[in-house]
Every structure is written in C-alpha cells, then in structure tokens.
Structure 1
Amino acid sequence: MKRVCWFRSDFRLTDNHMLHRVLTDVEDGDEIEFVFWLNPKYCEPFDTRHDYFFSTMRVFMDDLNSKKLGLRVIVTETSEQFVEELGEVDALYFNAEYVEPFKQRDDAVIKSLGEQVKVVRLLDRHLFHPDAFSTKDGNPYKVYTPFKKAAYSESPPKPYHVDVDQLKRFVGLSSDIPKELKEQFERCERDWKALGETEAKKRLTRFVNERLTNYADDRDIPSIAGTSRLSPYLRTGVLSIRTVVEQVLAAPKSKGRDMYFDELLWREFYYMVMAKFPGLKEEPFNEKYKRLVWEDDEAHFERWCKGETGYPLVDAAMRQLNETGWMHNRLRMVVASFLTKHLLLDWRKGERFFEQKLIDYEAASNIGGWQWAASVGTDAVPYFRIFNPVTQSERFDPEGTFIRRYVHELSHVTGKDIHFPKKEDRQDYIDPIVDHKEARERALSRFKDL
C-alpha cells in the first residue's frame, strides 16, 4: 500500500500529526512517500516572506537528506495536475487547513483523487478545531473573552510522538530538486539566522527559561528581546503549537506565562473567526463599515510603507519591517492605527503590504489584527480609541533606543524630543505628513457619521 504524506507549511519531523498518524497506520510491505506541491502562482511577486519560506524549506530538505529521507517536489498549478503527478496512491495524509483559499485547494485535491483513495485530513497547525467551541445558541464566538474562557475549560492536546527511525524503514531517498524549486532557492538573498527545527527548539527553550516570567512587563518594549520571536517558526510549521504550549505551561506559574498563553489563544480565536466567517480578507466583519469611505492618497500610502511619515516610532517600525521581515507586535498596532485613523487609508492596503513583507504572515491573525486596529472587525477597538503615536513612543520607547536603531536621521536628537522632533532638529528627517489633532478629528467625524 502506498501512503503519501503531503507537506505544506509543516517543515518538521517531530510532533507532526501527519507523520504520527501514518506511522500508526503503516504495515509491513507498505511504502511511504513525502511530497510537496510547488505552485508557481503562489510565488509571485517574490518578496520577503517567500525568501524566508524557501530558505526554511531548503534547510528542511537538507535535514531530510541527512536522515536518508526524501521529499518529492511536484511543480504544477492545478489540483487535477497535482493528483495526476502523484500517480498511484492508496492513502493521502496531510495536516488540514480550514480557511480559504487553502481549504478550497484541499477540497479540490480530495475531489480529484476520487473515492478509491483514503484521505486522512488532520488537525495540526492549531490547538483546537474551528468547530470546537460555540455559544449556548450554537453560534461561533465573536468576542475573545468568552472564547478564551471556553478554551481554558479544555486541556490542550499533547505533542505527537514521531519515530524517525521507523520512518526510515518506509520512506525512500529522493534528492532530485526540480529546476523550478532551484530557481526559488536562488532567488533567496537574505542570510536568515536560526533556521530549521533544531534552532527553533533552542529558541523556544531560551524564551521559556529566560524571558517567559517577565513577558507581561517586557512584551511591549520594542528595544528589548521581550517577546518569543517564535511566530515565524509557527508559520512555517518548523515548530508545533503543541510543543510550544506544553513547554510554556510546564514552566512555573507567573503573570508572564499566563499572558503568553492568552496570546496563543488569540491566534486560535482569529483562526476560528476566519474559518467560520469566510471572506474577511476582502470585507470587514462589521457590515456597518462597508459604507466607510476611505481616502485615496497613494503618496501617503507610499510614505507609510517606506517609514517616512514624520512620526519617529511609526517610521522606525516600518523600517524594521522592511529591513528584517518582522515587526514588534505593539508596533503592528501603532502603524495599523496610524494608517487607518491618521491617514484614513483602507486597512486592506496595509494588510496586503504586511502579507508581502512579514515572514510570520498568517492570514487569520493578520486580518484579525488589521480589522481590530481599523475598528471594523470582531471584538475590535472602539473607533474613538485612536493611538497617539507620540504618546505610544514616550511610553514604550522612553529613551528612544528603538527609534535610533532604525531612524538614523535622528541619532543626534537627545531627550524627549526624539519622540516628535522640533523643526530645527529634523534636518534630514521628514516633516509629519499629517497633524495628529486634525487627523484624529477627521477620523472621529468619518466614523461617527456612519
């Protein structure tokens, strides 16, 4: 019997539900094949997140080869062609996606396989299935707090054991890399640090041992390493959410530990919302705001993208994103609020820019976060709460350490002036593109009139 394991964004061998299950099912005489579907349509335009993804994939393939395990890469654009290239197969295993367009892709593959092929679709990327929790009326949760309460009533799943030595008995070695994948590897320009499963586990252990206890106090300070920086590993599947949760909850109880677990539940919440309410990438959750008229100012959008708004914390955050492919979570809220409230530009423009640039881009969390900041989503911040970028800077980067790291034009500015430099101190730094007070009043008026 030929059993195929279809890798997607789960570049790891340990605690992989798909691999655990196939080893549970496999019998003597069976064959297991690892495959990956490379769809060229998803590689354009090639940007930062692709660079990180394929760099990670290359490390994973090297790891497989070192363990005498092979991964066959199928290059095609349609589900029918993918199934045709698979050839004879008796069972297909994969870790499920429950949001569009990936669920639609998976459904199309299953349909193309036909009823004669056994399909094993498994929950892996998240702790809980989107249908796991509902209100007393049987509806999906729309507010985080009651969702969190329901999640706390359930024990999170434990990691799945995977016997790599047993895998070697059934999986062949295939080191052929198609030219299309070689081309993607060659396009990778950045020297990413700490790639792969081994490095991810080290970072997890260091975070739990050294920073978890103080996470509640340090997580909002962008100038220090106060967050876990595990999100890129979760995105590429190099690290399992179950492994993370088990190690976090095994740590001594603290405010930091509990808050970090709550942040992981936000990831679960947004995924559930995205699965139960399709179409949120294009439309706001709150239908009232479909009528909201956004500004059409491409020059302002470009200044925001480049980190040239004249507001130091906003510009430092955007430059961090452009330079590193990652942005501190507090700053994601600051720049999203600035784009949607100060500039009154459509949240979808910002969401798509983040999609291009973020190495940890996950649609559900990103879309949920943008709709939250724009006050158009589920459980969103009220429209009248508008982040003041200067106040945020004074509070979370009091010494201007983070600002000076990325806005070099202000390296000469001392004291509190770093948060909003005087005219004479700006020199090579741009003037603010909008006045905070005027922009705030405009946003309040625009939202209030709906």
Structure 2
Amino acid sequence: MPRFARVLCWFRRDLRLSDHAALYHALKSADEVIPVFVFDRDILDVLPGDDRRLPFILACLHELQQALRAHGGELVTAHASAVEALPALAAQWGAEAVFTNRDYEPAAIARDAAVRQRLAAQGVAWFDYKDQVIFECDEVLTQGGKPFSVFTPYKNAWLKKLTPFYLQSYPVERYLPALARLPEQTLPTLDALGFAEAAAQPLKITPGISGAQAALADFQRRLTHYQRLRDFPASKGPSYLSPHLRFGTLSIRLLAQLAWAQGDEGAQTWLNELIWREFYQQILWHHPRVAEHAFKPEYDALAFDNDPELFAAWCEGRTGYPIVDAAMRQLAQTGYMHNRLRMIVASFLVKDLLIDWRWGEAHFARLLLDFDLAANNGGWQWAASTGCDAQPYFRIFNPVSQSEKFDAEGKFIRRYVPELTALDNKAIHAPWLAKRLPEDFRLGRDYPKPIVDHATQRQRALALFGRD
C-alpha cells in the first residue's frame, strides 16, 4: 500500500467510527483523512418527500460528525450525483485516493465503477473493502465452486469457514489522530435536501451510534430468549437492530461475534438470521437479475390478477383479515414490520390476492426504514415461491391460523386495529366467523368484511402456480 498525503474516506452504509474497514485502512495509509458523505441525487431525487429514512440518516450523520469532532476530525458532505461529487471533492481537497467499503447491489456496483473511472482520469486512486458482511462474493461456495442456492447448505459452509479471524474488529481508534483538521462543516437540512415532509414522520427506533449501542445492550439482555419470543409480534422478541445494520451504525463483526460466543439456542437462532442476510446478499451478487425477475425463470410470467383495488386495500390495512391489517398499519405508521408478519402479509398478497410479488416488494421498499434490497427481495421471493430457497408454492399461510398461533390474545391486533378492541380473543382473529359480536359493532361498517375468501383463493393460487 503506497503512502498518501491526503485521502477521502467515503461513508455510505457504515455510519460509525469503530470497527470500520475503509476508515481503518485510510487512516493507516495517509497523513490526513477527510471523511465524506454524499447525499446522492441519483438516489434521493426519485424518493418521495416524506421518506422517513432521510431523518434517520441525517440524525446518524449529526452524531457521526460529533464523534469525528471529538477526535479532531470533520465530516464533509455534498448533495449531488455521487459520480460527479466524488471527483469534485477529491479535486477540492487535494485528495490522492478514495477509500470506501464495498456495496453489492447492482446499481451501487455500476455507480462505483463510474466513480472509480472518473477518479482514475484525474489520477486519484480507489480502494474498497469488505465491511458489511462476514463473507462476501465468492468466499462461500459449493465444493464444485458454484454459488449456493439453498440456505441450509450455505449456512453449514458459512459456519464451517468461520474462525475468530473473520470476527476481528478493525482497531480504528488508535489511528484517529490522522483525521484531517478542517474548518467546521454544516450538514444540510431536510428542507434543503427536499425532504421537509419527512420531518413529520415519527422515528420509532433511535438513530445514530448511541441509538445502536443502546439497542444492542437491550437486546443482549433478551438474546437468550430470542428463539422463544421472536415470532410473537406483541412480545419484545426481535433484536430491532435491522436499521442499524442497514446503515452501519453497528458492525456486523461485533454482532456475529456476540452470537457466536454466547452460543445458546437464542444466540444460535439469531446467528442464523445474520447468515440469512448474507445468503441473500450473495444471491443478489451472483444473480443480479433477481432484483427485477424471479430467481426461477418459470415463474417470471405468472398471470397474476393484479387487481389495483385489492392491492390498495392491502396497502392501507383494510383487507378484513385483522392480522394482515394490523401488520400493514404498523408498517405505514412506524416504518417497521415484525418479521413473522412480513411473511404473513407477503403470502396473503401473492397467494390470496394473486398480486405480483414485485408490487409488494416495491411497497416495502417505499416504507421500510430498514429496507435492504437483498433482504427485501429474498424475503418476498421466498414468500412468493419464486426464489432460490423458496417456500414451495403449495405451502400457503392461512392468515387466521397464523393470527391465532402468533397473536393468540389479539394484543398486537388491538394495538393497530383499535376498532376491534371490544372483540373477544377468539372473534378478533376472524370477526366474520364469530357467533356473537358486540351489539354496537357492525361488520362491514366498523371494520371491513374479508375482501377475498381464503379457501377459494388458495385453490386459485395452487392452479396458478401449479401450471408447468
């Protein structure tokens, strides 16, 4: 590695100082390091003005800026196309190289290739590093040297390859004196970025490095019980760390080390979830076509009904199926949805409403605070039976039995569908089947009747997917 006088470290999905691969290598390789973040207009200009991810990102950046200042550094930002911004920043600050962590999404790969080419034209070097996964790209392959397409063999190979070496953190702190001393920079406002409406969106998950550390400390106290509680949306079972993983306010190495070291049933189950995340990352990297197409090509042209009125009812939480409606309202109100509920509503959209999974995937992408292309695509294709390691098409979630099993007392339903509060614990899962409802409650007036019949739609889905 050559020695540089001044370099840029481009922050993206890694909004933290500790255990940061690119920052570590930049600090070791240069006399001065300038951290930069680009509000990429190629991404932001197509987002709605109320996108709640922008307040989260901006809050993370404010805290990152304070952390850098505590060590004598400063965060430089730009609001422009990244392809234009990085070469301009390098020229403005006299940087000889750009250091960054790799991103595996197709659009990000194309963007980085364009940035790298532009930098090379002006004599600026490019270095990128693995940071958001334990194993990337071709690091976990079958014995035949092919990418895995089934999770369990991938998981077994992943665990076999895992050693303490891959979980070592990057000791960034000892090299922080190499941060460049710059005049104080001002971060843009949501209004300046075109997201003034987003300020009104509530953030249910505390952003930033401190928010990540607090959430992790809370989850560590509950990790042993993760296996037992994770499927029940009314319980505090999930980690609630997914936004912090998405935006890198926590290191994946720290989380995997925690789970691996603890090793009990709860920790092992959670480690499996982290491996699922990497499984979908490598699927997207090896098969970028899945971003728009079914992994199984034979399912790419299924003749879905795609009824826009049914889709609107699903999006707005008025399907007449309480567990589905509660989940969709949770998403709309908070930007979060419990993982068990993601599977239930996805199955309902595709198998009950016979709507293309890509419609649902796009709706989740629009609203999820923790939206990650690989995980979102993988989860939707699993539920839709079109993916690599998918639920078989004939396995269709029954929304009523799922509700009875995972929200038996209706606590979650009552939280997000308050018009059903007075129903008893049996009627709340399927009000249309109840023998007796409260006198002042009328189905079809106070709460919708089911927009489809599950048994009928199940047979239609079997016929649709069963065709060869």
If the length of structure 1 is used for normalisation, what is the TM-score?
Answer: 0.94
Structure 1 distance, partners of 2:191, 2:184, is 14
Structure 2 distance, partners of 1:23, 1:31, is 7
Structure 2 runs not aligned, ≥5 long: none
Show the 5 A alignment for 1:177-188: 177-178=187-188, 182-184=192-194, 186=196, 187-188=198-199
Select the residue among 131, 141, 147 that pairs with 2:138: 131
Partner of 1:283: 293
Check conservation: 2:9, 2:34, Cα contact below 8 A.
yes
Select the residue among 144, 169, 174 that pairs with 2:151: 144
Shift of 1:205: 2.1
- Residue range with higher mean Cα deviation, 353-362 or 106-115: 106-115
Partner of 2:383: 373
Partner of 1:396: 406
SS at match of 2:290: coil
Shift of 1:194: 2.2
Partner of 1:237: 248
Show CA shifts across 1:325-356 (max 9, x none).
00000000000000010001011111011011
Identity score, percent: 40
Check conservation: 1:31, 1:170, Cα contact below 8 A.
yes
- Residue range with higher mean Cα deviation, 41-50 or 212-221: 41-50
Pair 1:11 & 2:15 matched: yes
Structure 2 distance, partners of 1:442, 1:222, is 29
Partner of 2:457: 439
Check conservation: 2:55, 2:190, Cα contact below 8 A.
no
Structure 2 distance, partners of 1:343, 1:371, is 16
Structure 1 distance, partners of 2:334, 2:190, is 26
Amino acid in structure 2 at the alignment position of 1:49: R
SS at match of 1:275: helix
Select the residue among 48, 62, 67 that pairs with 1:45: 48
Show the 5 A alignment for 1:6-405: 6-26=10-30, 30-43=31-44, 44-46=47-49, 47-77=51-81, 79-87=83-91, 88-114=94-120, 116-154=123-161, 155=163, 156-163=166-173, 166-167=176-177, 170-178=180-188, 182-184=192-194, 186=196, 187-192=198-203, 193-208=205-220, 210-251=221-262, 253-405=263-415
Structure 1 distance, partners of 2:55, 2:348, is 28
Amino acid in structure 2 at the alignment position of 1:159: S
Check conservation: 2:19, 2:169, Cα contact below 8 A.
yes
- Residue range with higher mean Cα deviation, 32-41 or 417-426: 417-426
Show CA shifts across 1:116-162 (max 9, x none).
32221000011111110111221111111111111011224222111
Shift of 1:421: 0.6
**Alpha carbons of structure 1 residues 206 and 82: separation in structure 2 relative to 1, 3 Å:** same
**Alpha carbons of structure 1 residues 314 and 2: separation in structure 2 relative to 1, 3 Å:** same
**Alpha carbons of structure 1 residues 212 and 329: separation in structure 2 relative to 1, 3 Å:** same
Show CA shifts across 1:198-247 (max 9, x none).
22112212212x21111111000000110100001011111111111122
SS at match of 1:10: coil
Check conservation: 1:54, 1:184, Cα contact below 8 A.
no
**Alpha carbons of structure 1 residues 185 and 60: separation in structure 2 relative to 1, 3 Å:** farther
Structure 2 distance, partners of 1:78, 1:392, is 45
Structure 1 distance, partners of 2:125, 2:361, is 38
SS at match of 2:36: strand
SS at match of 1:415: coil
Structure 1 distance, partners of 2:179, 2:351, is 58
Check conservation: 1:127, 1:157, Cα contact below 8 A.
yes
Shift of 1:319: 0.5
Show CA shifts across 1:422-441 (max 9, x none).
37553511111000101101
SS at match of 1:361: coil
Structure 1 distance, partners of 2:191, 2:367, is 21
**Alpha carbons of structure 1 residues 331 and 191: separation in structure 2 relative to 1, 3 Å:** closer
Amino acid in structure 1 at the alignment position of 2:96: D
Structure 1 distance, partners of 2:129, 2:233, is 36
CA root-mean-square deviation: 1.9
Shift of 1:322: 0.6
Shift of 1:66: 4.8
Shift of 1:291: 2.5
SS at match of 2:48: coil
Structure 2 distance, partners of 1:184, 1:62, is 24
**Alpha carbons of structure 1 residues 84 and 23: separation in structure 2 relative to 1, 3 Å:** closer
Structure 1 distance, partners of 2:395, 2:279, is 22
Show CA shifts across 1:14-69 (max 9, x none).
1111111122223xxx2211111122232222323334333333333344345542
Check conservation: 2:38, 2:85, Cα contact below 8 A.
no
Tell me the matched-pair count.
445
SS at match of 2:365: helix
Shift of 1:248: 2.4
**Alpha carbons of structure 1 residues 70 and 222: separation in structure 2 relative to 1, 3 Å:** same
Shift of 1:181: 7.3
**Alpha carbons of structure 1 residues 62 and 191: separation in structure 2 relative to 1, 3 Å:** farther
**Alpha carbons of structure 1 residues 241 and 442: separation in structure 2 relative to 1, 3 Å:** same
Check conservation: 1:76, 1:82, Cα contact below 8 A.
no
Structure 1 distance, partners of 2:340, 2:177, is 42
Structure 2 distance, partners of 1:296, 1:86, is 48
Structure 2 distance, partners of 1:179, 1:303, is 35
**Alpha carbons of structure 1 residues 377 and 196: separation in structure 2 relative to 1, 3 Å:** same
SS at match of 2:15: coil
SS at match of 1:212: helix
- Residue range with higher mean Cα deviation, 11-20 or 423-432: 423-432
Check conservation: 1:71, 1:173, Cα contact below 8 A.
no
Structure 1 runs not aligned, ≥5 long: none
Partner of 1:2: 6
Structure 2 distance, partners of 1:239, 1:173, is 28
Shift of 1:407: 0.3
Amino acid in structure 2 at the alignment position of 1:374: A
Check conservation: 2:17, 2:67, Cα contact below 8 A.
no
Amino acid in structure 2 at the alignment position of 1:74: A
